[in-house]
């Protein structure tokens, strides 16, 4: 059993028991890829009445390595507008990068961080350079060197 499998097994049994409000498990068929839905709990007009789909990808080194987390677009699941979320679903958040990640974080705590990242935002905008980035990017999120210039947004 790989390092990640043991830990993810424990996380899954905890998630199946209970999850904080606004977070729902969609599928966890293996220990490589999970899907969860999140929504904000307040009335922030930017995100009201919307549900967003998150895709988690785990390496065998999880949780020593951070998981790859992106928003995915479906008919009823848009990509939330946010100055740190690109329109292709890639998220620029320091806790998901190698420098900001701590192995004591988990799927649940990531979902909660993303929830509060949305709740706290009032800017109806994409990151600077979104268009070029989305057009040009072929890298996987973990290989992108984001510059986390503003952690308060």
Partner 1 sequence: MDTDDDFMSNVSSEEEDMMPDDSDNDLSGDDDFDFDDEPDPDIDMQQDFGQKKKAAYDITFKVYQPQDIQKQQDDLIKEVNMILDINKEEAAILLRHFRWNKERLIEDYMEKPSQVLEAAGLSESSAEAPRLKSIPGFVCDICCEDEEGLQSFALKCGHRYCVDCYRQYLAQKIVEEGEAARIQCPSDDCNLIIDARSLDLLVTQDLTDRYHKLLNRTYVEDRDSLKWCPAPDCQNVVECGIKKKDLTRIVPTVACLCSMRFCFGCPNEDHQPAPCDLVKKWLKKCADDSETANWISANTKECPKCNSTIEKNGGCNHMTCRKCKHEFCWMCMGLWSEHGTSWYNCNRFEEKSGTEARDAQAKSRVSLERYLHYYNRYANHEQSARLDKEMYLKTEKKMVQLQKESGMSWIEVQYLNSASQALQTCRRTLMWTYAFAFYLARNNLTEIFEDNQKDLEMAVESLSEMFEKPVQELADSKLKVDIMDKTSYCNKRRVILLDDTAQNLAEGRWTFNVEFTNPTPISNTKGSSSRR
Report helix, strand or coil for 101: coil
- Report strand pairing: 33-38 vs 52-57: antiparallel
In the set 23, 38, 92, 117, the catalytic residue is: 92
92 is catalytic: yes
Assign residue 61 a region (left: φ > 0; alpha: ψ between -120 and 50; beta: otherwise): alpha
Identify the CA nearest to 98 among candidates 57, 56, 65.
65
State in angstroms the smallest separation of the CB of 69 from partner 1: 16
Where in 85-114 is the site for partner 1 (CB under 8 A)? 94, 98-100, 102-105
State in angstroms the smallest separation of the CB of 147 from partner 1: 9
Where in 42-71 is the site for partner 1 (CB under 8 A)? 61, 63-65
Q: If you compute the radius of gyration of the chain from its CA atoms, what whole number of angstroms results?
A: 15
Say whether residue 73 binds partner 1 (CB under 8 A): no
- What are the residues binding partner 1 (CB under 8 A)? 3, 6-7, 10-11, 61, 63-65, 94, 98-100, 102-105, 148
């Amino acid at each position: 059993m790989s390092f990640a499998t043991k830990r993810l097994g424990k996380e899954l049994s905890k998630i199946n028991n209970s999850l904080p409000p606004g977070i729902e498990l969609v599928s966890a068929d293996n220990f490589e890829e999970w899907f969860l839905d999140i929504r904000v709990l307040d009335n922030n007009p930017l995100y009201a009445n919307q549900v967003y789909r998150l895709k988690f990808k785990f390496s065998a080194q999880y949780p020593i390595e951070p998981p790859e987390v992106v928003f995915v677009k479906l008919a009823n699941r848009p990509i939330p507008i946010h100055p740190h979320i690109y329109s292709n679903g890639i998220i620029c958040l320091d806790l998901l990068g190698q420098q900001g990640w701590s192995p004591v974080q988990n799927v649940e705590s990531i979902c909660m961080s993303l929830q509060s990242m949305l709740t706290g935002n009032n800017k109806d905008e994409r990151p600077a350079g979104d268009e070029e980035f989305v057009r040009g990017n072929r890298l996987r999120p973990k290989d992108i060197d984001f510059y986390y210039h503003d952690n308060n947004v």
